[in-house]
Amino acid sequence: MGDQDQPTKEPQEEPVAQQESTSSAPTVLFIEDDPLLLKMYETKFKSEGFRVLAAQDGEEGLRLASNERIDLIILDLMMPKLSGLDMLERLRSQAHGKSHVVIVLTNLTKEEEIKRAMDLGVKEYLVKADLTPNEVAAKVKAYLGK
Amino acid sequence: MQISQEHLLIFSVINFILLIIAIVVAVISSRKYGKIKEIDKEKDEFISMAAHELRAPLTAIKGYLSMIVEGDAGEVSTKARGFLADASAVNERLVRLVNNMLNVSRIEQGRLVFQMDNLHLARAARSALDTFRAEAERKGLEFSVEIPEKISDVVYVDPDKLDEVIANLVSNAVKFTNKGSVKIRLVNPENGAVRLEVIDSGPGISAEEQKKLFRKFYRVESTSGKTIGTGLGLYICKLLIEKFNGKIGLISGEEKGSTFWFELPLSKSELKAS
């Protein structure tokens, strides 16, 4: 942590509005029900040059994951309608859903959940409160070879 | 002395009464034990939920503070940067507190899930230096790492958990040292191991207190007569280091500063390479 050298960026007035998605930008799908945290990660990832799709519950997340071109999914666990892991289980049961790269980003650290996530082929299980958005972005970049 | 039938009868009655008492006591205590176990489970559930709820706002505070410091919101004055560093340090303390609360019963019951991997201890030490630099500088402490050039430092651990151990040790050193220095040092004490030391010039710890230091809920009385913390940090450090097949300890004396250290076996890949 803290070791990643991030390129220095020009400060941006409104990072969300800028860097509109380009077709070549890697796409990350955030499935996160806390609007404040979602906005925070969205802002950071857009300023880092990602195309960001967002869903605030498992059902919406599953719909986007099934229909959109996505390079990596960042998944929260405790969510309304469909929990993160139930959503992932359904995604994995679909033909095209087996190869999605998924990172769990949650504040829940129950051992049963971690085991279940790992069984569902999650690449990494990250605790939100332990990482800054920059550190999360660095992890994602490492997976995407960016 | 002859034992009459009367004696035998009295003896049998007493035995019978004792047996009944023993059964009653056993039933009551097993019920109580069941009740205690139930309460303990409820306590764990409550702590888990409370900690989870605390983590969400802590994540937002940590995230936004870091983004401001990293320049995502524009230029930040030096003075504001100092304030932000203080706010971050306090927030980190809360994050550690919540992590300790969550970890303790899980480690004890063997329910904590470890994500084991190879880790360069030197990297973890430098990262701890980055994390605590601002807090140490604010207190006017000299804060450094000392890593020999040819160190063998790859250990097989859960990297996040080991970071927590280092953070607990460094955080204590910075908290209790009011002048002088805090240094993180790495050494290879013998073939097959690496040792991390956190050396401070703080008030030191008496031999009496040293014995109790790694016990659950034990808190050192500070020089101001106040006890601070939850008394979980060092206890968890000990449980984790032992889980990674290492050992932990300290060298200290009153007015002599303290050196907290842990030693871990080098990972197999490191041993093969050397």
Residue spans of beta strands (DSSP E) within B59-216 = 117-120, 142-146, 154-157, 181-187, 193-200
- Residues B121, B216 within the same domain: yes
Which of A8, A47, A132 lies at the smallest CB-CB distance from B63?
A132
Of the CA atoms within 13 Å of residue B106, those in its CB half-sphere come to: 18
Q: Inspect the interface and report whether the beta carbons of B55 and A2 lie closer than 8 Å.
A: no
- The whole-angstrom separation of Cα B108 and Cα B101 is 12
Contacts of A119 in chain B (CB under 8 A): none
Residue B264 contacts residue B194 (beta carbons within 8 Å) = yes
Question: Among partner residues B72, B111, B163, which is closest to A111 by beta-carbon distance?
Answer: B111
**Cβ–Cβ of B52/A108 closer than 8 Å?**
yes
Q: B253 with B163, same domain?
A: yes
Top-confidence residue, B269 or A75: A75
B208 pLDDT above the threshold of 90: no
Q: Which one of B55, B71, B126 has the shortest CB-CB distance to A129?
A: B55
Q: Are residues B97 and B134 in the same domain?
A: no
Q: What DSSP designation does A131 have? A: -
Q: Do B123 and A37 touch (CB under 8 A)?
A: no
Number of domains in chain A: 1
Residue-wise pLDDT tens digits, B153-191: 999 999 989 999 999 999 999 988 999 999 999 999 977
| Residue among A8, A109, A124 with most chain B CBs within 10 A, to mutate | A109
pLDDT band at A23 (very low <50, low <70, confident <90, very high): low
Largest CA distance in chain A: 43
Q: Are residues B24 and B135 in the same domain?
A: no
Question: How would residue B47 be classed by pLDDT, with cut points 50, 70 and 90?
Answer: confident
Residue reference for tokens 């480690």:
B107
Verify whether the Cβ–Cβ distance A44 to B126 is below 8 Å: no
A39 interface with B at CB cutoff 8 Å? no
In tens, the pLDDT along B98-119 reads 888 888 877 877 778 888 899 9
Does residue A6 lie within any of the structural domains? no
Task: For residue A108, give the chain B residue with the closest CA.
Answer: B52
Residues in B touching A111 (Cβ below 8 Å)? 106, 111-113
Q: What is the mean pLDDT of chain A?
A: 85
- Residue B2: what are its φ and ψ, rounded to 5°? -85, 140
Given B108, B126, B151, which residue is the final one in a domain?
Answer: B108
B81 and B125, same domain (yes or no): no
CA distance A9 to chain B (A): 8
Whether residue B120 lies within 8 A of chain A, CB to CB, comes out as: no
> Is residue A20 in a domain?
no
CATH code at position B53: 1.10.287
CATH of the domain at A136: 3.40.50.2300
**Domain extent at residue A129:** 27-144
pLDDT above 50 for B125: yes
Do the beta carbons of residue B222 and residue B212 sit within 8 Å? no
Question: What is the predicted pLDDT for the residue at B85?
Answer: 86
pLDDT at residue A5 tops 50 = no
Residue of chain B nearest A124, judged by CA positions: B115
Answer whether A12 sits within 8 Å of B75, measured CB to CB: no
- Structure pTM? 0.69
**Same-domain check for residues B74 and B134:** no
Query: Would residue A107 count as lying in a domain?
Result: yes
Considering the domain architecture, whether residues B127 and B204 belong to the same structural domain is answered as yes
d(CA B199, CA B178): 14
Quote the CA–CA distance of B261 and B12 in Å, as a whole number.
Answer: 62
* Final residue before a domain boundary, out of B88, B108, B128: B108
Q: Let me know whether B160 and B237 are in one domain.
A: yes
In a domain, residue A1? The reply is no
| AA letter at A40 | M
Domain that includes residue B98, residue range:
5-108
Q: Are residues B68 and B186 in the same domain?
A: no
Q: How many domains does chain B have?
A: 2
Whether A21 maps to a domain, the answer reads no
Task: Say what angle helices B233-243 and B78-108 make with each other, to 10 degrees.
Answer: 60
Give the chain B residue nearest A116 (alpha carbons): B113
* pLDDT interval class at B221 (50, 70, 90): low
Residues B67 and B123 placed together within one structural domain of the fold = no
Tokens 């004396």 found at = B253
Yes or no, beta carbons of A115 and B62 under 8 Å apart:
no
B42 Cβ contact partners less than 8 Å away, ≥ 6 residues apart: none
Q: CA B191 → CA A63, B69, B175, B197, B230, distances in Å? A: 55, 42, 33, 17, 36
Give the span between the Cα atoms of A63 and A42, in whole angstroms. Answer: 19
Residue B219's pLDDT is 75
Select the residue of A13, A34, A115 nearest B56 (Cβ to Cβ).
A34
The predicted complex's ipTM stands at 0.77
- Please check whether residues B164 and B238 belong to one and the same domain: yes
> Is B210 in the A-facing interface, judged by CB distances under 8 Å?
no
All residues at 6 or more sequence positions from A113 whose CB lies less than 8 Å from its CB, including other chains: A77, A85, A106
* Residue A90 falls inside a structural domain: yes
Residue B214 sits in a domain of what CATH number? 3.30.565.10
The residue type of B57 is P
How far apart, in whole angstroms, are the C-alpha atoms of residue A126 and residue A75? 10
A46-81 pLDDT, tens digit per residue, is 999 999 999 999 999 999 999 999 999 999 998 888
Give the Cα separation of A3 and A39 in Å (integer): 25
Q: Is residue A104 part of a domain?
A: yes
* Residues in chain A within 8 Å Cβ distance of B58: 129
Residue B27 has pLDDT above 90, yes or no: no
Given a contact cutoff of 8 angstroms between Cβ atoms, the answer to whether B89 and B135 are in contact is yes
Q: Indicate the residue among B83, B108, B133 that finishes a domain.
A: B108
The answer, yes or no, to whether residue A128 has pLDDT greater than 70, is yes
**Contact assignment for B72 to A11 by CB distance below 8 Å:** yes
B77 to chain A, any CB pair closer than 8 A? The answer is no
Asked if residue B71 and residue B189 are part of one domain, the reply reads: no
Q: Is B93 on the interface with A (CB under 8 A)?
A: no
Cα dihedral sign for B79, B84, B89, B93?
A: positive
